[in-house]
Chains A and B, each alone.
Chain A
Amino acid sequence: MKLKNILAPELITVDVRGTTKKEIIQELLGLLVKAGRVSEVDMVLGELMERERKMSTGIQHGVAIPHAKTKAVKNLVACIGIKKEGFDFQSLDGEPSRIFIMTLSPIDRVGPHVQFLAEISMVIKTEEARARLIQAKNAQEVLAVFGL
């Protein structure tokens, strides 16, 4: 899987402003809508929130991976948001989440989203990579962390 085909500057924000879980997810979804990757906003938002309800996607070391399988997309789409001050996403280690990687993948196809997330996680496994992401001033600097 090529990260280059999935990530683009317009799908990245280094200034997430939302102050609730829903607002943050809405804001990230807004990036996908603006880039023309998703149109059925309400349905997708409902699916993302439903997944959060089952179990928080806030994982460790300030990383959260809100995601859902949905009919609204035919291929995997993803976006990245950075919130420098962090937000309590009810993550597993209790740390506030600063790096948000959102993915939407089609329901009926063999899902590439786990593969995508696995590849992303390989990159942000190191403390140094995560620090670079949090300190990024623009989308290009975020992409650079992923070698793009």
Chain B
Amino acid sequence: MAHEMMVLALQLGVILLAAKLNGWFFSRKLKQPKVLGELVAGMVIGPFLLGSIPLGSLGPLFPVVEGTIPVSPELYGIATLGSILLLFTSGLETDLPTFIRFSGKASIVGIGGVIVSFLLGAGITVVFHPEVHTLMDPEALFLGTLCTATSIGITARILGETRKISTPEGVTILAAAVLDDVISIVLLSVVVGISVVSLNGGSIAWSGIGLVALKAVGFWAICMVIGIFTAPFLTKGLKRFQSLGLLAEISFGFALILAGLSEMAGLAMIIGAYITGLSFSQTDVASEITERVKGVAEYFVPVFFAVMGMMVDFKAIGPVLGFGMIFASLAFVGKLIGCGLPALFVGFNLHGAFRIGAGMLPRGEVTLIVAGIGLASGAIGPDMFGVAVLTMLLASVAAPPLLVFAFKGKSGYKKNIEAQEDADMVFIELDFPSERAAEYVRKSLAEAFHGEGFYIHAIEGSVRSWQIRKEDMVFVMKRMEAKLEISAKRQHESFVRLMMLETLADFQEFVEGLQSMQRPDLMGASLMINMFAQENSGKKNRTQ
């Protein structure tokens, strides 16, 4: 036991070093997502490359473990914890109201993408794989499923960097990406259910599949409803401990419990983690929980991606490289057509449809999770796992430049839906004579809101913005050079105006206080006088 733990500590240390450094190299030097760097690091140090080299009496650091997963169960366990953390934070970062508002258009786009991608992925497997004869074969099902999920992380990062998140296309892409991740996860549960029956030699009855699907959707729906309704009460109760750290830790405890329950119900653990995150995303402490959980996720998520990279058996990929390229191309086409075509029917023009199709291209964590579960259950072999990783790599490398290119030019929406959204919002602006004055008032406002029980969270972006949130009240404060702007829903306008008025009254007092202060130039002069007085007396001392 002690030996296994020692090896695990060494393995984790090496993984973290390699994944973090390569992640940094990919994001800073190659301008690619970090996840690619972590994945590649895993491939290089894993059991099929450098990891197999014996290190004296220790032997290979990453020996090939017999069975479906080539790494030790302990290491795989830590990687699983990483996937739970990842999906928990993805759930926390999902904006449920936006998701619901665009759910109509996004559902059509998302479902279109899922259906076309699934059929193309599963179909090409049947065509090219001699042992796979029907779409119901576990291998075809898994390959179809892993075509369906879009990486929210990669898409959101690119849209955020190019400031396109709030465009009609941007919101639709994100909502559809959330939706097709959900569909993929539910689909995964169904596929796992079918595979278990199929691999155990049983015949697949459609009633059985229906039952599995019903169970998956039912578990999802029940947990979502319970989660969304209870999370605000739960956080209200937990706030009594007066420790946001404790609140975040307990919420992650719930994520783990729900992950375990999902597995017990025959679903993937990540479903439970994602639902818990989504439930807490609607509470006023969501940002605080995310911030704290992300601190932990930063350590474990790279381990997950690196371990996924370690599963790539290069020898197994070789013979299927051609198939992999065709598969990856079809995965692209599946999303471009599957999402782009329906977008044309829900108000977007050709330009917008292309943007949406391109935005749905990136594949990421869910693809790997689907492939990892497929590999663990024996439904797909190492060769097809390699195909999945290849698809993810190609999609993730090709999507960012394509997306940046697609978003150049005019709006891709036929009607102006942003105007509709703006009608419910008010934007209150204050102009100051200098950036410093604006920043002073901005800080005072943040303190005033904090004093009223609000949580303030900095939003990343090129403009300095903060989210101010308490229960159902959500405001966004922005500082653009010497201008301050707060946006709020119309029903909360009076509240915001009064808060600003009080802060300005304090600012007025501060300004008056400054004016009554002794002249700063005189204060400065007195400082200088004292300094030279000392110098003179020092000289005197020396000369004496």
Contacts and interface: CB of A to CB of B under 8 A. Distances in A.
Interface of A: 51, 54-55, 59, 110-111, 114-115, 117-118, 121-122, 125
Nearest to B499: A114
Interface string B377-418: 000000000000000000000000000000000000000000
Interface of B: 451-453, 491-492, 494-495, 498-499, 501-502, 504-506, 508-509
B451 A110 contact: yes
21 contacts: A51-B505, A54-B505, A54-B506, A54-B508, A55-B504, A55-B505, A110-B451, A110-B452, A110-B453, A114-B452, A114-B495, A114-B498, A114-B502, A115-B495, A117-B494, A117-B498, A118-B494, A121-B494, A121-B498, A122-B491, A125-B494
Contacts of A110: 451-453
Contacts of A117: 494, 498
Contacts of B495: 114-115, 118
Looking at chain B's contact residues, is the secondary structure mostly helix, strand, loop, or mixed?
Answer: helix
A59 B504 CA distance: 14
A132 to B, nearest CB: 19
A18 to B, nearest CB: 22
Contacts of B501: 55, 59
Most chain B Cβ neighbours within 10 Å, of A51, A54, A59, A121: A54
Given A118-B492, A118-B495, 7 more contacts: A55-B501, A59-B501, A110-B451, A114-B495, A114-B498, A122-B491, A122-B494
A114 B499 CA distance: 7
Contacts of A54: 505-506, 508-509
A111 B508 CA distance: 21
A122 B506 CA distance: 24
Contacts of B491: 122
A111 B498 contact: no
A117 B493 CA distance: 12
A105 B189 CA distance: 55
A110 B502 CA distance: 15
A117 B504 CA distance: 17
Contacts of A121: 494, 498
Interface centre among B453, B498, B499, B506 (most CB of A within 10 A): B498
A55 B508 contact: yes
B494 A111 contact: no
B468 to A, nearest CB: 13
A110 B451 CA distance: 6
Nearest to B449: A114
Contacts of A115: 452, 495
A59 B499 CA distance: 13
Among B491, B492, B501, chain A packs the most CB atoms within 10 A around the CB of B501
Contacts of B451: 110-111
Contacts of A59: 501
Contacts of B506: 54
Nearest to B491: A122
A60 to B, nearest CB: 10
A121 B501 CA distance: 14
Nearest to B453: A110
A111 B499 CA distance: 11
Nearest to A65: B498
Contacts of B492: 118
Contacts of B452: 110-111, 114-115
A111 B509 CA distance: 20
A125 B491 CA distance: 11
A110 B470 CA distance: 12
Nearest to A53: B509
A55 B500 CA distance: 12
